[in-house]
A and B are shown apart, each in its own frame.
Chain A
Amino acid sequence: DAMVIQNPRYQVTQFGKPVTLSCSQTLNHNVMYWYQQKSSQAPKLLFHYYDKDFNNEADTPDNFQSRRPNTSFCFLDIRSPGLGDAAMYLCATSRDGRGVQQPQHFGDGTRLSIL
């Protein structure tokens, strides 16, 4: 089945130690998104890629970076995680509807804990 896969499901890192979260997709969608979701809160968009074009949200901290080496893979790098970065990180994809919004397909997320 075509899907969005996030690895790992759970990640523990130390305060200030860089961490990378991974996302892969078999849907061949050209748009990929990264969201941060804290408990009982709305998913908050960090950035998205339209093909190789990177689109950062204005309020996304510089501590968060992303890479998309090819259509299938996208990475979220947190350069110096702080305690406030503990959250669920969700990857999503959609196909480009050429101005017509399309549904987003989510992975099951990576739960990040900071020690």
Chain B
Amino acid sequence: SQKIEQNSEALNIQEGKTATLTCNYTNYSPAYLQWYRQDPGRGPVFLLLIRENEKEKRKERLKVTFDTTLKQSLFHITASQPADSATYLCALGGTGRRALTFGSGTRLQVQP
């Protein structure tokens, strides 16, 4: 069955450093991969979408990579700030399929 793995342990980093979060998947060939941010008690908020034929996507301090050979996506936040502290979810989708399959997320804690 399809499986998405995100590190369940919280990632603690110092302000100003680069945070790198990992999303691995098995038994899946997604056409798209999306990253969302979720704050406690709130709904997820869309950050970035990357297609299978794109290696890298950037938006301000955010960068996403997508390696279909390794079946992995990396999500980077450069110059991290305490306000970046949240849970980050990856979600996979297929061509012609509207629904997404979400990972359980990794909690990021940025220390001032």
B62 part of interface (Cβ distance < 8 Å):
no
Q: Is the interface of B mostly helix, strand, loop or mixed?
A: loop
Size category of the B interface is 20 to 34
Interface centre among B8, B44, B101 (most CB of A within 10 A): B44
- Inside 8 A of A109's CB, which chain B residues have their CB? 41-43
Whether A43 contacts B89 by the Cβ 8 Å rule is yes
Query: Max chain A CB contacts within 10 Å: which of B32, B43, B89, B95?
Result: B43
**Chain A, range 53-107, C-beta contacts under 8 Å to B:** 55, 57, 90, 92, 94, 96, 99, 101, 103-107
- Which parts of B35-85 form the interface with A (CB within 8 Å)? 36, 41-46, 49
Any A CB within 8 A of the CB of B4: yes
- Closest A residue to B48 by CB, please name it: A103
The CA-CA distance from A42 to B100 in the complex, in Å, is 11
CA distance A84 to B28 in the complex (A): 29
User: Are the C-beta atoms of A101 and B43 separated by less than 8 Å?
Assistant: no
Interface residues in B73-112 by Cβ distance below 8 A to A read: 89, 93, 95-105
Residues of chain B at the chain A interface (Cβ within 8 Å): 4, 8, 31-32, 34, 36, 41-46, 49, 89, 93, 95-105
